[in-house]
Structure 1
Amino acid sequence: MATKTPGQVIQEMPAGKFVTMAKVMPSGSLQARKDSAGSTRFYWRFSIGTKSERVLVGVYDSAASPKSLTPTSKGFSVTAATRAAEALALRHYTNRENGGHPALVAASRSAQAAEDEARRNAELNTLERLLSLYCDYLQDLGRESHKDARSIFNLHVMRAWPDVAGLPAKEVSTEQFADMMRNLIEAGKKRTANKLRAYARSAYQVAKAAKSKPSIPVAFKDFGISINPVADTLPDETGNRSSKAPLSAHELRIYWQKIRSMNGSIGAMLRLHLLTGGQRIAQFVRLLSSDAATEHIVLFDSKGRPGQPARSHTVPLIKPAREALFEVISSGKWALSTDGGKTHIAATSLSKWAVDAAGDEIPGFLTKRIRSGIETLLASARVNSDIRGRLQSHGIAGVQARHYDGHDYFDEKLESLEKVYTLLEKPFSDTQRAKSG
C-alpha cells in the first residue's frame, strides 16, 4: 500500500485530535491538530521530567512547497514546521540542566517585562519631569530660586523646545543643551543662558547623586542618570558680569536722607532694610514675627549648596533699626506685612518703594545696589571681608570656618552696623550738598 504524503495525512486527519507528523531532533516530535473550521496548526511536543508540553509552531499552509524550509506569508509546510521545531528542541536540550524550554520562556518574559518597564520609565521620566521635579525639590528646601528656575525652564525649555523636553532625560545630549543656550545668547539673553545652564546642570547633578545620597528624594533615582550632559557645556563669561554696581557713599547718604524721616510703614521698612546691612530682599521680607527680638532679627539664607536646608542668619539691631522694626512689626506670622501678618510683603513691592524713594537723584538706582553699596562702604571703613561676608551672609568658606569656628560674630556685626549708621549720618560737604540739591 502506498505511503501517504504529509499533505494527505493532514487532509484526512479528524478534527480535534493531535497527530504526530515527524520525530524532532534532538528532542520531541512535530504534531498537527485540525480545528472544527478545517485550519491546521503545528506543535512541538516535548517532555521535561514526568510532564509533557506542546508549543505552538504555526499554521499549516497547504499551498506551500513540501520542500520549503522557511514559512510563507500564510504559514508552514511540514518540512518548514519540522525545522522550526528542531530549533526549539535544540535550545531546550542545551539548556535542560537549567530548566529547559519553560525556563527559557520565563527568562524571556522577564527580560521583556524589564524592557517594557524601562521603556515606560523612559517615557515617564522626561526632561520636563526632571526639571519640574527639581524645582519642587528647591521649593521643599525653602529656596526662593525655585521660582526663577521654574520660569526659565517653562519659557526656554518646555515652550521653546517641546520635542527635547519630551525626551527621556537621560537621552538629552550636551549639544541639545548648548543649542538652548545658543538661542538665548543670540537673542541677547546671555545671563539667562547661563542661568539655564546652572539650573539644568544642578538638576542633573541631583538626579545623579540620588543613587548614593539618601537625603535626595527617591523619585530622582528613576531617571537613571549616570552622566550629566549639561556639565560639558560652557557658560558665556560675558553674561556673568555683575549688574550690581555699588551705590557710592554719597549716593547711600542721599538715599538715607530720603527715607530717614519718611512717615508710615513703608519708610520704616526701608530704614530697617538699610540699617540691617542691605540684606537679600527675598529673605528680608520673609522675616517671621517670632524671629524678631529686641536686639536682633533672624533671617534664613536659602542660597547655598543643593540639598542643604536654609541657614539661619542672625542680624543685630542698632537703635534706629530697632525703632523701625517696632514701628512696623505685625502681630501675625509675618513681621513685614500689610494685612496683619497673614502674608508677607512682596520683594518686588519693597524694591519699588525703594526706587520711588530714591527718585531721580541717584542715576540708575536699583535696590540690589544698596547691598553692594553697604559692603563697599564697610570696606572703606576697613572692616575685613570675613566680617562683611558674615554680616551679609555671603556664605562661610573653608572647612575650619564651617565646622570648627563656633563664634557667632554678633559683636563684630553690631559694630559694623554702627559704622554704617555713622557714615550714613555724616554731613554732606558743600560740594556734595550742591550736587544733591
Structure 2
Amino acid sequence: MHLTDRTIRDAKPRQTAYRLRDDNIVCRGFGVVIAPSGAKSFFLSYTSPEDGKRKQVALGRFRDVSLRDARLKASEVRGLVDQGKDPAFERRADIAARIAKRELGTLGDLLELYASDLEHDGKRTAKEVRRITAKDVPAALISRPAHLISRDDILDILTPIAQRGALVHSDNVRAFLRAAFELGLHAQSMTRWRGRTKDFQITFNPVATVRKSVSRKPVGMRALSEDEVRQLWRTDLLTPQMHLALKLILATGQRVEEVLHARWDEFSGDFTLWTIPGERRKTRNKTAEPHLVPLTELHRRLLEEVRSLSGDAKHLFPAKNRSEPLRYDSLNHAVRRFIGASGMVSFSPRDLRRTFKTLGGSFGISLEMRNRLQGHAMTDIGSVSYDRWGYAPEKREAMARFVHKFEAVLGE
C-alpha cells in the first residue's frame, strides 16, 4: 500500500493493533500502526546488523509528525542500518550517556566530598571548606560538572578574592580547590571512597597551573609589648564578651578556639583547673589525652565575670543563637575594630598566645614548661614513648609564677 495522509486518516481502529506498511522501496519497513484506541504512530522495522533480530523504531504520532517528515526520519534511520549500525542500540547508548551525564559529579559534589574526607580524618577545616563553597564559589560553577572546570574558571573564583585585598585567603581557597581536585582524581582508587562517590571523570587538576597570590604566607611574628598588653587589658573599646575572651587567651596562653569553644563542665567547681578534652585540641590527631591547665585567682576572677555576663549553662562564650559557641572570625572582627579605633599596631587574636609565650620567657619560665602550659605536642621519643609523668605540680608552679609577674606588668 502506498501510504497517503488520506489512507492514514481513514484507517479505522480494530480490537487489536495492526500495521499499514508503505510500499516505498526506498524506505522499506516504513509504515504506521493503528492502535485499538485509534492512535496512529509511524514506525520503521528493520533487521539489526548487530544481532540479526527484527526490530522497530518509533518515529512519532500521526498529526504530531507529518507523513513527509516521518518518511525523512525513516530514511535517516534506514541509512544507519545500511551503514551497519543498529538505531535501537544507538538510541539506548545515547540514553545511557545522557543518564551518565546527569550523574556526573559537579564541582559542588567534589567540594562536599573533600569536606567529608576532611571530616573523616577529624579535620576542623571541613567547616571552612563548606563556608568557602557557599561564600566564594559562584553558583554557576557549583552546578557545573567537575571535569568541565577549567583553569579560567578557577581564576574566576580566586581573582575577586585577591582583588579585594585578601591575598592570603585567595591562596587558602586555591589550596582547598587543588586538594579537592586531587582527591577527585584518585577517589575511585581509595578504599574509603571507591564505589561511594559520583563519577567525576577528572583527568587533570585545573588548579595546578594557577599561581599563588603571594609567594609565601607571612609568618606570624607579632607579640604585644608590655605597654600594648596594658592598653588592651584596660580598654573600653571592646564589648565585654570580646574583651573577656581576649583576656582569657592572654592570661592562659591557650588557643583561640580552645577558649572560644570552652564549656563550663570543663572547669573544676573552684575554678582551679581547666581540663580541655582531647577531641577539642589541635593535637587531637597526635594524642587523645586531655590538656590540663592550672588556674589561679586571676583566672577565677575572669571566669566569674564571664559567668555573670553570659548566663549560659553550657558555653562560656555563646553565639547569638545560644546553641553554639562564638565563631573564630567574630573575635577577628572585634580585634580589627579595636585596632582601627585605638590606633594600635595590627595584631590577631592568636598573637596573644605568642605574647603569653614571649612574656613567659621574659619571666624566666623555661621553654619546656611554657610548651606544656600551652598544650604543645611533645614529639621527642622520650616524651611520646616513655615519660608518663603529668607535670601537674610543675605546671601549676609555672602558671603561678607567670600570673604573679603578669599582674606586675598590668600594675595590679
Indicate the TM-score class for this superposition, using the shorter chain for normalisation: 0.5 to 0.7
Alignment TM-score, normalising by the size of structure 2: 0.63
Determine the structure 2 residue equivalent to 1:25: none
From the superposition, tell whether residues 247 and 219 of structure 1 become closer, same or farther in structure 2 (CA, over 3 Å): farther
From the superposition, tell whether residues 58 and 128 of structure 1 become closer, same or farther in structure 2 (CA, over 3 Å): closer
Determine the structure 1 residue equivalent to 2:405: 423
Determine the structure 1 residue equivalent to 2:153: 176
Kept after mapping to 2: 8 A contact 1:33/1:42: yes
**1:417 alignment partner AA:** M
Per the TM alignment, residue 251 of structure 1 is displaced from its structure 2 partner at its CA by 3.4
From the superposition, tell whether residues 220 and 312 of structure 1 become closer, same or farther in structure 2 (CA, over 3 Å): farther
Determine the structure 2 residue equivalent to 1:193: 170
Instruction: Write out aligned runs for 1:7-406 (5 A).
Output: 16=19, 43-45=45-47, 53-56=53-56, 73=72, 76=75, 87-88=83-84, 111-122=93-104, 125-131=105-111, 134=114, 145=125, 148-158=128-138, 162-208=139-185, 210-213=187-190, 220-225=197-202, 227-237=204-214, 240-242=217-219, 245-252=222-229, 255=232, 258=234, 271-277=247-253, 279-293=254-268, 294-298=272-276, 300-301=279-280, 313-320=290-297, 323-324=300-301, 327=304, 328-329=306-307, 332-336=313-317, 344=325, 348=330, 352=334, 360=342, 363-364=345-346, 366-380=348-362, 388-389=370-371, 391-393=373-375, 404=385
Kept after mapping to 2: 8 A contact 1:31/1:43: yes
SS at match of 1:230: coil
From the superposition, tell whether residues 269 and 35 of structure 1 become closer, same or farther in structure 2 (CA, over 3 Å): closer
**2:315 alignment partner AA:** W
* Structure 2 runs not aligned, ≥5 long: 3-10, 12-17, 60-69
- Alignment deviations for residues 51-102 of structure 1 (CA, whole Å, 9 cap, x no partner): x95234899xxxxxxxxxxx9847549xx96x865655xx7xxxxxxxxx8x
**2:98 alignment partner AA:** D
Determine the structure 1 residue equivalent to 2:67: none
**1:180 alignment partner AA:** I
Per the TM alignment, residue 134 of structure 1 is displaced from its structure 2 partner at its CA by 4.7
From the superposition, tell whether residues 312 and 207 of structure 1 become closer, same or farther in structure 2 (CA, over 3 Å): farther
Structure-1 separation of matches of 2:348 and 2:102: 49
SS at match of 2:314: coil
From the superposition, tell whether residues 54 and 394 of structure 1 become closer, same or farther in structure 2 (CA, over 3 Å): same
- Alignment deviations for residues 280-325 of structure 1 (CA, whole Å, 9 cap, x no partner): 32331211222223433215546579xx699665141232255236
Structure-1 separation of matches of 2:116 and 2:226: 41
* Structure 1 runs not aligned, ≥5 long: 1-5, 8-13, 23-29, 60-70, 92-100
**1:295 alignment partner AA:** L
- Alignment deviations for residues 342-368 of structure 1 (CA, whole Å, 9 cap, x no partner): 6545653698499879x9595546533
**1:54 alignment partner AA:** R
Per the TM alignment, residue 276 of structure 1 is displaced from its structure 2 partner at its CA by 1.6
State the structure with more CA Rg.
1
- RMSD of aligned residue pairs (Cα, Å): 5.5
Per the TM alignment, residue 378 of structure 1 is displaced from its structure 2 partner at its CA by 3.5
Structure-2 separation of matches of 1:225 and 1:47: 35
Per the TM alignment, residue 247 of structure 1 is displaced from its structure 2 partner at its CA by 0.8
From the superposition, tell whether residues 419 and 209 of structure 1 become closer, same or farther in structure 2 (CA, over 3 Å): farther
SS at match of 1:55: strand
Kept after mapping to 1: 8 A contact 2:296/2:403: no
Per the TM alignment, residue 216 of structure 1 is displaced from its structure 2 partner at its CA by 6.2
Give the aligned length. Answer: 366
Percent of aligned pairs with the same amino acid: 20
